[in-house]
């Protein structure tokens, strides 16, 4: 601290600056430079790393990614949905009523429905792989560094945050590469606001139902809101309980490369297959549990207000009344604490109607477009999944910070959704 006061900066930085100054002087005195031909990387970086154009160019590319993810994948979602609708109709013919219901409504209705979202998830990973393989994605951290530094975040934090677009678990673990304890903690606490692939099915379902031709924009806005909330939350932490300056950021940027189709497909598969594994394990178990809760006590109408799932939703619904969520949505949000995909899966089981279009029609009949957008924001901002909570505990080594993460995310999600409903009302949207 004393050295910092005398030198005006960290001793490490002052020493490094002095060292590089000496090296520059020696090189200048001893080396005659020829004019170096500018490489493709130099040419592109002039614009992509430009302080005025760099950030708008990033948001434009991100928007292209979500146009591709949402619009281009839609018919392929339909093909997967058609397959499961056909399997469901076969299962419904099984003479044993319980087995037929479990297979048709629980497995093919719930799990099959979530599997139709394999298409947008794979499309998203393909587009992100193209950006990553080209060398562009590494530049995003650099472009945002100045802004992040001003807001109290470490430039290196942007890499875990970008990883968070895929899955929050490795993203939180990637925060280990950040040296300062406070910088690392802030990154761990903000990564869950980055919209992981598990949330995408929820957005696709709701945006498709309520925002028609603007659906891709609505989905894109979730990713932007996630980044903005993460940055604002980091700023708040830096100004209050985690005061201090972030450490300087040094990154070596790779050269640009033309991405290959095969390389990007392989990367897409490596990431996307984790969703299929999850579907075959957690989501399958989740589908069975949801089906059991929706038909118990025996004799009630499946997924009705009299079933166990209905009782859970109805008990908690008053809390979500101001947001305009009905008990069916509240139930699905409760189960989504285990994994976000369960929002979609449980809505499939609760509404008991087959296919995306039918569930979308049921949603349109039960909530307003403003509440639907609030639901997307709530899904974006509240605890991503139980596994994330476990990783936060492991990485922070503290129950206190884990509890803080869970409670702050819940509070921010609720306030964020409430803000959407309030603003929507003020602007005259219903």
Partner 1 sequence: MGLNMKIGRSIAAYSLIVGLFYLVFGLLELVNGLSQTFGLKWAITAVNPAIVSPDIFSGVTLAIIGLIFLFGVRPQWMANKDAASYLAVGTLLATVFFAVYLAIMGSHAVGWGVYHIAPEPYADIFADWAEWIWLDDLRPGIWLFALAVPGLYYTLKMWLSRKKNP
Which spans of this chain sit near partner 1 (rule: CB under 8 A)? 37-40, 43-44, 46-48, 53, 56-57, 60-61, 63-64, 67-68, 71-76, 78-79, 81-82, 85-86, 89, 213-214, 217, 220, 258, 355-357
| Least distance from partner 1 to the Cβ atom of residue 37, Å | 7
| Least distance from partner 1 to the Cβ atom of residue 53, Å | 6
Asked if 178 contacts 184 with a C-beta cutoff of 8 angstroms, the reply is yes
- Residue 385 sits at φ, ψ, to 5 deg, of -170, 170
Nearer to partner 1, 164 or 355 (CB): 355
Is it true that the peptide bond before 85 is cis, omega within 30 degrees of 0?
no
| Least distance from partner 1 to the Cβ atom of residue 219, Å | 11
Nearer to partner 1, 224 or 292 (CB): 224
| Least distance from partner 1 to the Cβ atom of residue 51, Å | 12
| Least distance from partner 1 to the Cβ atom of residue 245, Å | 33
Nearer to partner 1, 105 or 395 (CB): 105
Instruction: Please list the residues that pair with 339 across neighbouring strands.
Output: 385
Query: d(Cα 132, Cα 139) in Å, to the nearest integer?
Result: 10
| Least distance from partner 1 to the Cβ atom of residue 30, Å | 25
Query: d(Cα 170, Cα 241) in Å, to the nearest integer?
Result: 25
Nearer to partner 1, 64 or 296 (CB): 64
152: left (phi over 0), alpha (psi -120 to 50) or beta: left
Query: d(Cα 284, Cα 276) in Å, to the nearest integer?
Result: 11
Full DSSP string of 23-71: HHHHHHHH-PPPPPPPPHHHHHHHHHT-TTTHHHHHHHHHHHHHHIIII
Nearer to partner 1, 209 or 247 (CB): 209
Instruction: Please list the residues that pair with 385 across neighbouring strands.
Output: 339
Nearer to partner 1, 214 or 394 (CB): 214
Tell me the three state secondary structure of residue 225.
helix
């Amino acid at each position: 601290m004393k050295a910092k006061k005398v030198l005006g900066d960290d001793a490490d930085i002052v020493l490094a600056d002095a060292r590089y100054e000496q090296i520059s002087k020696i090189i200048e005195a001893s080396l005659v430079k020829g004019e170096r031909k500018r490489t493709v990387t130099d040419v592109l970086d002039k614009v992509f790393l430009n302080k005025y154009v760099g950030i708008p160019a990033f948001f434009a590319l991100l928007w292209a990614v979500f146009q591709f993810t949402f619009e281009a994948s839609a018919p392929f979602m339909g093909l997967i949905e058609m397959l499961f609708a056909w399997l469901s109709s076969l299962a419904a013919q099984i003479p044993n009523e319980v087995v037929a219901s479990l297979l048709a409504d629980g497995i093919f209705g719930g799990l099959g429905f979530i599997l139709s979202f394999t298409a947008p998830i794979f499309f998203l990973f393909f587009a992100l792989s193209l950006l990553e393989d080209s060398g562009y994605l590494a530049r995003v951290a650099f472009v945002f560094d100045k802004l992040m530094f001003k807001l109290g975040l470490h430039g290196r934090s942007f890499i875990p945050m970008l990883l968070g677009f895929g899955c929050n678990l490795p993203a939180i673990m990637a925060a280990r590469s950040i040296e300062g304890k406070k910088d690392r903690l802030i990154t761990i606490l903000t990564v869950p606001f980055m919209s992981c692939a598990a949330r995408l099915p929820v957005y696709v379902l709701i945006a498709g139902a309520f925002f028609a031709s603007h659906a891709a924009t609505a989905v894109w806005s979730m990713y932007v809101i996630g980044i903005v909330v993460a940055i604002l939350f980091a700023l708040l932490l830096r100004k209050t309980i985690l005061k201090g300056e972030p450490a300087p950021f040094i990154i070596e940027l790779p050269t640009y490369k033309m991405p290959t189709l095969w390389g990007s497909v392989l990367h897409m598969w490596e990431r996307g297959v984790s969703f299929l594994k999850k579907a075959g394990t957690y989501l399958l178990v989740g589908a069975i549990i949801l089906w059991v809760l929706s038909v118990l006590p025996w004799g009630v109408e499946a997924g009705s207000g009299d079933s166990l799932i209905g009782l859970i939703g109805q008990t908690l619904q008053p809390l979500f009344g101001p947001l305009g969520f009905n008990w069916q949505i509240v139930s699905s949000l409760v189960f989504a604490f285990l994994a976000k995909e369960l929002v979609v899966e449980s809505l499939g089981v609760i509404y008991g109607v087959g296919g995306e279009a039918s569930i979308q029609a049921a949603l349109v009949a039960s909530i307003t477009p403003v509440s639907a957008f609030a639901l997307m924001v709530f899904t974006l901002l509240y605890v991503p999944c139980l596994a994330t909570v476990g990783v936060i505990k492991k990485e922070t080594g503290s129950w206190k910070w884990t509890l803080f993460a869970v409670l702050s995310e819940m509070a921010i999600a609720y306030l964020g959704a409430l803000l959407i409903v309030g603003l929507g009302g003020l602007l005259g949207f219903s």
